[in-house]
Amino acid sequence: MNILGAHGPKALARVARYCDGWVPFGTSPDAAREAIATITQLAREAGRRLEMLDVPVIVAPDSLNLDLLRRYQEAGVNRLVLPLMAGADEGGKTLEHLAQLATVVEQAQKV
């Protein structure tokens, strides 16, 4: 599986021509919906038929809520990647951060 993580018109065109997935960082649901439609159209024009475009979006967990999770899903995003924030291990905060991630995962299961 070929996945490209990039932004901009040239990147979307490359995804449409060569890839099975696109990994944007911090993209809003509306921007993801628009980009996915563009990739699908460009792939069709290039003679490719993408049965399923893999779109995992990397997002900060503190910005998520149930409504936003639903909007990502409706936009065509099929996975969210929740990074462990840099410096989370300083001062014993790793477990606290993991607990925050667990809350997001619990919310995602309701979508």
Written as six digits, the tokens of 44 are: 């069709």
**31-56 per-position pLDDT tens digit:** 999 999 999 999 999 999 877 888 98
pTM: 0.79
Q: Is the pLDDT of residue 17 over 80?
A: yes
**47-106 per-position pLDDT tens digit:** 998 778 889 888 877 777 888 889 999 999 988 887 776 665 566 677 777 777 787 778
Q: Calculate the CA dihedral of residues 15, 18, 20, 23 and round it to 10 degrees.
A: -30
Q: How far apart are CA 89 and CA 91, in angstroms?
A: 6
> What domains lie within the chain, and their CATH numbers?
3-108 (3.20.20)
